[in-house]
Amino acid sequence: MPLAARQNLVVMNIQMTVSLLATLILCRWLLPDIVQADFADAIWPVAALHMFRFIGMTVVMPGQLDDDITKRAKGLIAVGDLAVALSAVVLAFAITQGGSEPVLRGLAWVFVLICFADMAVIQRYFIAEQFWNKKMGVVWLFQVLLSVPMILGEVFVLYRLIAG
């Protein structure tokens, strides 16, 4: 790997670590009882955050990603972000409308499965096309700022689904 690519990867990892620490501090401060909360109350912040994943569709806008990144990668990332956003909107709507726990759990499983499938696709292309060494425009801001809280949220919803 060329020196510039290694340096970019180091910077990205530092940014992600700071994002992780900031997310943990904010969660402890803003949501101290989230683990003990009712299922709907616990997953609401995660659904609310993910409703804005449609922003990830900016990857298909001209000039947002390096032209060296394939159209297939851009398209799959955009479709994945849209699918996650739509599943989060449906889940959030069910929560706000007082959906029963079995309905919320079913929608949460759909949401989590879509999230993890999307993550697998993103990581495949992220590594294969060395995104950390490309020009990424404003997409980089969203990648670094939001990916850690989103992934932690997805893991938390999965935890609540399994642990009860």
pLDDT tens, per residue, the chain with 164 residues = 788 878 888 888 898 899 889 888 988 888 888 888 999 999 999 999 999 988 888 888 888 888 889 999 999 989 999 999 999 999 999 999 999 999 999 999 999 999 999 999 988 988 888 887 888 777 777 777 788 888 999 999 999 999 87
CB 133 within 8 A of CB 5: yes
Q: Is 13 left (phi over 0), alpha (psi -120 to 50) or beta?
A: alpha
What residues does each domain of the chain span?
A: 3-163
Task: Give the phi and the psi of residue 98 in degrees, each rounded to 5.
Answer: 75, 35
Helices and strands per DSSP (H, E), number in the chain:
5, 0
| Residue where the block lists tokens 């990830």 | 56
The Cβ of residue 143 has, within 10 Å, a number of other Cβ atoms equal to 21
